[in-house]
Amino acid sequence: MPLVRLPEPRLMFHYIRHLLKAKQDGHGVHSPFAYRLCEEVFYNHKAFYEFENLENLRTQLLKNNTILEIRDLGAGSKHLASRFRKVAHIAKHGISSTKQSQLLFRLINYFDFKTIVEFGTSLGLNALYLAQARKQGEVYSLEGSESLYRFANELARNAGVTNIHFLQGNFDSLLPELLQNLNSVDLAYIDGNHSQEATLRYFEALLQRINPNSVLVFDDIYWSEGMHRAWEEIKKHPRVSLSIDTFYSGYVFFREEIREKQHYHFLI
């Protein structure tokens, strides 16, 4: 019988705290902007036409036995330690869940975002979600592993999706040039290299290119003590006016009409 692995006590503590703080709906959400976000994006479970195809692709990835050799440039993974990894295993443990990807899709669609940056492509399924949410937008998806970069390129080509620019290399070397070429970033999804120092560095770099409507999304904010500290520091930044914690990811907003900083926990 397989052993059931219990989550770390630290994670259980944060999760219970999150459940106790989380809003069930828009009641008690004071700012009109955050209320609309809650009702129309976070707690709006309307299915978009594109979801069915994308989830069919996920099902195929979960059955794909191809082995990829991966050179991980980040802080590593708790589930994917080996250099040789099966696509099915990555699809199960190393990519955004259906709920996370669909939430990002709804966010992009709601705000009609145009320029989107993803840190960490992996298999490329989430990049397809980002690209399909706004077909006239441009997605820049960064990945250090060459085999994943190739895999994701092929996935997008086969799906007929052409508005993703896949960039291969270390985030640290790709980011300065990318940001120099972009006037503004509407949404960035920071989903790789989960260390406190790197996360704060990417946050500072992205601040040069945000606009008042931008959203920065940090994945795995409870992955380690360091990531939790980074998230707390990001929330405190003077330019952040609203933060939303879904336990899996943290979302920060820079809306100028929100005069008093607000922090919410939402369930996804």
Ligand X SMILES: C[S@@+](CC[C@H](N)C(=O)[O-])C[C@H]1O[C@@H](n2cnc3c(N)ncnc32)[C@H](O)[C@@H]1O
As a whole number of Å, the CA-based R_g of the chain is: 18
Is residue 250 a contact point for ligand X (CB under 6 A)? no
Task: Tell which one of 149, 151, 171, 251 touches ligand X (CB under 6 A).
Answer: 171
Is residue 249 a contact point for ligand X (CB under 6 A)? no
Is residue 170 a contact point for ligand X (CB under 6 A)? yes
By the 8 A CB rule, do 246 and 266 touch?
Answer: yes
Is residue 144 a contact point for ligand X (CB under 6 A)? yes
By the 8 A CB rule, do 240 and 261 touch?
Answer: yes
> Which window, 2-10, 36-44, 117-125, 199-207, contacts ligand X (CB under 6 A)?
117-125
By the 8 A CB rule, do 167 and 141 touch?
Answer: yes
Closer CB to ligand X, 140 or 241, in the complex: 140
Written as six digits, the tokens of 22 are: 């989380």
By the 8 A CB rule, do 187 and 134 touch?
Answer: no
Helices 51-61 and 98-111 cross at an angle (nearest 10°) of 150
Is residue 126 a contact point for ligand X (CB under 6 A)? yes
Beta-bridge mates of residue 187: 116, 215
> Which window, 14-22, 35-43, 88-96, 203-211, contacts ligand X (CB under 6 A)?
88-96
CB of 11 to ligand X, least distance (A): 17
β-bridge pairing 210-219 and 249-253: antiparallel
Task: Tell which one of 50, 74, 159, 248 touches ligand X (CB under 6 A).
Answer: 74
Is residue 73 a contact point for ligand X (CB under 6 A)? yes
Binding site for ligand X (CB under 6 A): 72-74, 94-96, 118, 120, 122, 125-126, 142-145, 148, 170-171, 191-193
